Structure 1
Amino acid sequence: MKQNFSLGIRDLWDELVTLQLAGFYWVNIDRQIDAALFCQQVMHGQNNDARVALIGCGERSDSLLTALFTTDNKFTTENNNTGKKQLSCYAIPENKAALLNLTDDLMRALRPKNRLLVLYAPASLWRDISPEGLQRWIDDTAAWLHQRQCTLVVISHSSGVTRLRNMLISQHRGLYGLASLQWQQDRAQYLVSWWATERGVRANKVQMLQSDSDGWYMLKEEEPILTPSLDDDGLFLMEKSVMEGAPALSEHWQLLDDNDILVQTGMLTHAATLVFALNQTSQVDTLVKQVHSLRRQRGELLKIVVREMKPCLRASDERLLLACGANIIVSHSEPLSRFLTRIESVQGQRFTKHVPVDVEVLLTTMRPLQIKGYQPPDIFRQSVQMLIDNTLMPEGSKGVLVALRPVPGVRAAQALTLCTLRRFGDVVTIAQGRLFLFLSNCRLNELDIALKSIFRLPVDEAFSNRIVWSQDLQILAEVKSLVQDDTLEQERQINDYVQLQQTESAPSRQVPRREPIAIDLLASDLLGSDLRARAPGEPS
């Protein structure tokens, strides 16, 4: 009987955890911490006679390799014959050349035969590979695995997994299995696109997983909560200001005085439509908790609509409301007729997304970091890394990184005096003689408006060069190189900014700006009505 390996996920069906000999499997995982736990579980899930090789990539794999040998005594090195699992560990640099030469390097270092190979790497390792290049790499690797009778599991993680997943979805001829693990705040969704073993192929399977100190295990399906069948599907409950003074459209429409009364009434419904009004930013947190409570207690049939009455919602606030259970959010710019059409569009909908039990988890993870303004390069790098690694925000729209080079004769520290950052999550640093500015939740088409409000002078006049990065992998790569290059002038620039902060911290009053005033000269204002006009130079 052929030797097979296993992913080791507890309570999950054998057809979805078995790794066939000479197979090529790929698992994409959003968060690095989840990927590290998953990788350790794969290591632990093998039989004692299994021979396993772990290939780490870059600095991110160092902690995993250390943990396997220091916190667990189940592994031994290749030449130590103690009856424990034999584990060989290798590390490759995070670049395209190392990836393309992976099989050649393994032949020189290991000459594997009948082994389980686990490649643990960030998704950015494949950022410079085109879809055609990825297909060639998969085909060549699959042929090598068949020749050596080895099984390979690729565990890719962190920023870039969405792009990588989209490229891999068409590689069903080369990959035996493709799956993804997506964190949902209090549990994870394990989505199997396809998984082939000797028993057949399973496709389009979704299971919820939970983690503990021993790894991942499958959650049992929750029993659906049976609620009394209420005939309120056609009931519309609204905060009265959302109708802009218009009356209720029918007897099934109720206009209520405020959002609090709307919540109390909505708790008695099952499938009604509730419309909240949002007038100012300070209401967001309260409204988030109200929407979350309604969705968790009243179920998926309830339709929850939020209408923005004045411009007060940031993109992060919109995502937060949608994650807490709102069906749609209507912008302040949409007229009443369009608003009523949007209400019609949600009829018959079911809210199928998972809503975590603890709303504080959403409030913490979906908001920008509570820092703003200037940060030293190391803190700047860490802050941007944390913002980019946030899996609840869509990839490619977490913010923009802008590099600004001052005009000749102006140092970067001097140009910093023109910069005023007011929003949390917007940070700036100085490196390589330039200002590096990261604006969280800023879309590329909004950049010019944002820069105009941040700088006191027009950007084109104060800076001679501007470079913008909007893709997550590009931002991470640039920030990493920024920190590596910035060492010599860092201390002097920080000292300059400390002096700048002390100067700006003193209270200052704004100098009133003089504006021209038009004056009409009447006949009565002249020196005399009988004075005749004189030519220039004529004596009086």
Structure 2
Amino acid sequence: MSNYQGTPPIEKKEKRSVYVNLFGHKSAATDYLILTNKHNQNMTFTCLNDKNSFYHGLSDEILPEFTESLKRKGNRIYFLTKNISERSLNVENIIQDIFRIRMPKQSTLTILIPDILLVNLSQQRLGNLLEQLKQDATARNITIAVWLYGSLATSLKPALMTYSHLLAGLATLTAVSPNKYQYHIAFWANRQGVRADETCLMNREAAGEFIVLPSSKAASTSRIKTDAAQSHIVLSKEALNDREQPTEPLKLMPSNQAALNESEYPGSTTLILGCDSPGMIRQLAIDCYRFRQKNGPQPNLIIRETRQCLRYSDEAFLLKAGVNLIVPHHLPFARLMSQAEAIQHQVLVRSLPEDIEALLSFDLRYENRGYLENQAFSQYCHQVMQRSTPSQLRFALVKLSLLPGMTADECLRLCHLRRNGDVVTACHDALYVLFSAIRQTDIHTALNNIFDFPVRDLFRNVRIIHSHHDTEQELKTIVEQAVCVSASAEHISMEAHQVSERSAARPEVVSLFAVSKPIQLQGES
């Protein structure tokens, strides 16, 4: 950790140099701009996105402060025109246009770029772009600050590291919890020297100021020594399914609580705990967090799902609490013990939340489910994107293009969303489904589970959108092409849609598809 105390890490920049900052979300970039602009009043700000798209989704608290920050004395502000289509966007050509702007010498040019514009560039094109920036910074005697923002921005870090000879600095700002950021300097060169591999935590106060939090002390080496002779496994009976009788030499405890409350364990102990209902998850995470705080990083914690009850977001929440491994319900006991043996003597290196309140901020509760009208759907998508950054949960916006002759109402009647956080809205030519927390490999399975018919038969095309920039662009279309749907279609999309309920009597509805019907032949009565 760095030696920053109290004041934010605003690194000085040199003229004729290029510096790159990576931001996990647009809000992190706006927060950092507000912070740095207080120290820089001779800046040309350019954004490779149109103004309305960039401002859309910013919170009501941040937007006025961000706008006022841009308007400081000496600043020049440029956004991309709306007339440029997504397909014609070429980052190299836009950078060349930017350098047609007259800029005073010894000023700073800040270029804010959505991650999607660079993610798909080849290594050679990326290198050519950075070389062009370096040449222009030298020729104009200015400082160029390139800010990349979006969910894919940090994935560019390895590629950028290979061009360190063209860059004077590379740093990353990512959200670790609401109003808290981790700032990591890969390298940064100026007249004071070169800094590398430094990290600090910053907290955004209610007044908008950033305070650097003191670094936590590293665990003592004596605490993380491993001793093979002391390694053993503790198993809670709540982690056993019916008729399972462990034959291996284990320490069997009557419950999860009893296993976690044991006064002392050898450093290399592995605890296997059970979970069989969603109601257990929150308290189990709190207990694991307290155990981890008390016993340090060396003991291993395994959660075994004895019944299918853990969602993707629940697993991420338990991992934040200090759990090493989560075992799904279908894995047999013998494989469970193999997994336990495999992680013996491993040491947890993930950082833990500061306190229980910070931990519970990762227990994301999704209240919306079913149909949302288009404007509300757009606002909810922005909230999900912002919440997904610190929790590192993946989301997916799915565009389902309608077949000719089908209407949004008809398709909504066949849609039944069961999980909180899964919402749908309708446009003239498509339905849009948002999965607030989902693995990318599970998207097609989830789609087929929420419709009465296979998705490939019901829709003309399926497009999966998961990057922040592409999602924001699509949300504009969703609002512009809003369509009204009937109240009955809205209600159907929110039904539990369980098989047992289907057997009950229900009013007759018009069939949307052909059904088999015997043909009466001539002469038959």
Interval of TM-score (by shorter of Structure 1 and Structure 2): 0.7 to 0.9
Q: Do structure 1's residue 146 and structure 2's residue 134 form an aligned pair? A: no
Distance 1:301 1:334, change over 3 A: same
Structure 2 equivalent of residue 537 of structure 1 = none
Secondary structure class of the residue paired with 2:421: coil
Secondary structure class of the residue paired with 1:201: strand
TM-score by length of 2: 0.79
Distance 1:205 1:318, change over 3 A: same
Structure 2 equivalent of residue 33 of structure 1 = 27
Q: CA RMSD in A?
A: 3.7
Distance 1:266 1:330, change over 3 A: farther
Alpha-carbon deviation of 1:19? 0.9
Distance in 1 separating the partners of 2:17 and 2:396: 39
Q: Do structure 1's residue 416 and structure 2's residue 412 form an aligned pair? A: yes
| Equivalent in 42, 45, 62 of residue 54 of structure 1 | 45
Distance 1:292 1:494, change over 3 A: farther
Structure 1 equivalent of residue 65 of structure 2 = 67
Unmatched runs of 5 consecutive residues or more in structure 2? 506-525
Bigger shift: residues 177-186 or 240-249: 240-249
Alpha-carbon deviation of 1:392? 3.8
Distance in 2 separating the partners of 1:503 and 1:66: 40
Distance 1:22 1:12, change over 3 A: farther
TM-score by length of 1: 0.77
Q: Contact between 1:65 and 1:89, CA under 8 Å: does it hold in 2?
A: no
Distance 1:13 1:323, change over 3 A: closer
| Equivalent in 157, 160, 171 of residue 168 of structure 1 | 160
Alpha-carbon deviation of 1:149? 0.7
Residue deviations 1:121-141, cap 9 Å, x none? 443443554443332221111
Residue deviations 1:31-84, cap 9 Å, x none? 3333222112222224xxx632222443366577853674799x42xxxxxxxx
Residue deviations 1:174-227, cap 9 Å, x none? 221111112222743222222222454333333333334464444333345779
Q: Do structure 1's residue 326 and structure 2's residue 290 form an aligned pair? A: no
Matches within 5 A, 1:113-262: 113-126=105-118, 129-185=121-177, 187-212=180-205, 213=207, 215-223=209-217, 233-242=230-239, 245-247=244-246, 249-250=248-249, 253-262=250-259
More relative contact order in 1 or in 2 (CA 8 Å, sep 6+)? 2
Matches within 5 A, 1:127-526: 129-185=121-177, 187-212=180-205, 213=207, 215-223=209-217, 233-242=230-239, 245-247=244-246, 249-250=248-249, 253-265=250-262, 271-367=268-364, 369-389=366-386, 390-394=388-392, 397-399=394-396, 401-406=398-403, 408-461=404-457, 463-473=458-468, 476=471, 479-487=474-482, 490-491=483-484, 493=485, 497=489, 510-511=502-503
Structure 1 equivalent of residue 515 of structure 2 = none
Distance in 1 separating the partners of 2:238 and 2:144: 60
Q: Contact between 1:10 and 1:216, CA under 8 Å: does it hold in 2?
A: no
Q: Contact between 2:417 and 2:493, CA under 8 Å: does it hold in 1?
A: no
Structure 1 equivalent of residue 516 of structure 2 = none
Distance in 2 separating the partners of 1:367 and 1:65: 25
| Amino acid of the structure 2 residue aligned with 1:330 | V
Distance in 2 separating the partners of 1:439 and 1:249: 42
Bigger shift: residues 128-137 or 100-109: 100-109
Bigger shift: residues 90-99 or 280-289: 90-99
Distance in 2 separating the partners of 1:428 and 1:366: 23
Q: Contact between 2:417 and 2:496, CA under 8 Å: does it hold in 1?
A: no
Unmatched runs of 5 consecutive residues or more in structure 1? 1-8, 77-85, 514-540
Secondary structure class of the residue paired with 1:21: coil
Secondary structure class of the residue paired with 1:153: strand
Secondary structure class of the residue paired with 2:291: helix
Structure 1 equivalent of residue 523 of structure 2 = none
* Structure number, greater radius of gyration: 1
Secondary structure class of the residue paired with 2:43: strand
Q: Do structure 1's residue 90 and structure 2's residue 78 form an aligned pair? A: yes
Distance in 1 separating the partners of 2:218 and 2:496: 59
Distance in 2 separating the partners of 1:503 and 1:438: 17
Secondary structure class of the residue paired with 2:76: strand
| Equivalent in 27, 35, 38 of residue 44 of structure 1 | 38
- Percent identity (aligned): 21
Secondary structure class of the residue paired with 1:343: helix
Residue deviations 1:367-423, cap 9 Å, x none? 36321101111222222233233114547x4235141414x4432102211111010
Distance in 2 separating the partners of 1:328 and 1:289: 16
Distance in 2 separating the partners of 1:323 and 1:208: 17
Secondary structure class of the residue paired with 1:17: coil
Alpha-carbon deviation of 1:328? 0.9
